[in-house]
Amino acid sequence: MSGVIGGVVGAGLMKVRPPPPAITSQKVTIAPQSLAGGASATLLPATTYKYAIVIFHGDGAAEVRVDVTVNATTTSIYGNEQAIELVAGQSISISATNTGTATASTPTIEIAFLNW
C-alpha cells in the first residue's frame, strides 16, 4: 500500500516537516560621543533592518543635532530630545553635528531588532 494515510507514509514512517524559522532579537547601543564645536560624526552608517526600533534617550546636549535618515527622508532631533523611530525593511543612517562652539555630547541611542 502506498501513499499517505493520516500523516503516515508507507510502512509507519512519519513525515518530517522543516522547523519554523527561529526568531531572535538583538540590541545595539551607540554610546554618547563627545564632539568638538562644529564637528560632525557618523554614529551609524547606512544599515538595513527587517524590523527594528531605534530609541533616542535624550541624554545628550541641546547643541547636538542628530540627523536620522530612513531611506531618503532625513529627520533632525537634538541631543536632549527623546524619540523613537520604527524601521521595517528600510535603510537607516544616523549622524550628529555639534552646532555649538564648545564640546558637547551625543545622546545614547539603542537599536533593538529582530532576526529571522
Question: What pLDDT, in 10s, does the model give residues 16-45?
Answer: 788 778 889 999 999 999 999 999 999 999
Domains of the chain: 18-115 (2.60.120.20)
Average pLDDT taken over every residue of the chain: 90
pLDDT at 10 over 80: no
82 near 57, Cβ under 8 Å?
yes
